[in-house]
Amino acid sequence: MSEIRHSANLVRGIWTSAILSGLLAVVLGAVILAWPQPSVVAAAVFFGVYLVVSGLALVFLAFSLPVSAGSRFLCFLTGVASVALGIMAFRHFGEGYAILLLAIWVAIGFIFRGVSVTASAIGDPRFPGRGWAIFFGLVSIVAGFVVLAYPFDSIETLALVVGVWLVILGITEVVSGFGMRSDVKKLEKATDWPGHAAPTTTDKSVAAQ
């Protein structure tokens, strides 16, 4: 029972993290879309914040998810790479090729995260919210390749495309988080946790008297 309780607590933290990360992506995407002509500096800050926060979330998941060692390592590696890409976005926004760099950083961040989540979910049938996680991962991979292949000629175009994808990814991640939450509720209901243990034989005998 203690193992089940520990797993439920872990998944609860995971789905909470997914929902918060998704909401952040939606907010950042909406802010970018509401700003028709952001500066390169502002766009770099927004994109960098998303990459760093999502990377830290992946590092957290690497140490929390009850999955195989390979999935943990992939998740950790992706998280570190995402944080590094976010820091690069902050450091390179003043250069002449900033638009291209930002597009590459964001695209690679999307792809890394999508591959990590998809591989972890496919490789482990016990992955919480498995179906939604796979869907989110695939959407993230598609977003990455779209951003990577798009011929950006201005920061406004980059902001528009990435802003739209951030909103889409954020909504998908929030839905994925609620899918994980549903799995936790089913686990708790199936095990009658917390606090209400199934009556023992002795309890039934006393009740019958």
Q: What is the DSSP secondary structure assignment for residue 110, as one 8-state letter?
A: H
Given this model, what pLDDT does residue 198 score?
45
- Say if CB 51 and CB 45 are below 8 A apart: no
pLDDT at position 201: 47
Say yes or no to pLDDT of 31 above 50.
yes
Q: Measured in whole angstroms, how far is the alpha carbon of residue 208 from the centre of its chain?
A: 51
Say how many C-beta atoms besides its own lie within 10 A of residue 58's C-beta: 27
What pLDDT, on a 0 to 100 scale, did the predictor assign at position 193?
Answer: 44
Query: What is the spatial distance between Cα 36 and Cα 155, in angstroms, rounded to a whole number?
Result: 10
Q: Which two tokens stand for residue 36?
A: 């028709």
Q: Which region among 25-39, 59-73, 128-142, 154-168 has the lowest average model confidence (pLDDT)?
A: 59-73
Residue 140 confidence class, pLDDT cut points 50, 70, 90: very high
Averaged confidence pLDDT in the chain: 78
Instruction: Report the length, in residues, of the chain.
Output: 209
Q: Which of 43-52, 141-150, 163-172 bottoms out in mean pLDDT, i.e. has the lowest?
A: 43-52
Predicted pLDDT of residue 67: 65
pLDDT of 141 above 90 = yes
Q: Judging by beta carbons within 10 Å of its beta carbon (0-12, 13-18, 19+), is residue 137 exposed, middle or buried?
A: buried
Q: What is the pLDDT confidence band of residue 54, given thresholds at 50, 70 and 90? A: confident
pLDDT tens readout for residues 96-135: 577 888 888 889 989 988 998 888 788 777 676 778 888 8
Tracing tokens 């528009």 back to the chain, one arrives at 160
Q: Judge whether 82 and 113 are in contact, CB under 8 Å.
A: yes
Contacts of 26 (CB under 8 A, 6+ apart): 166, 167, 170, 171, 174
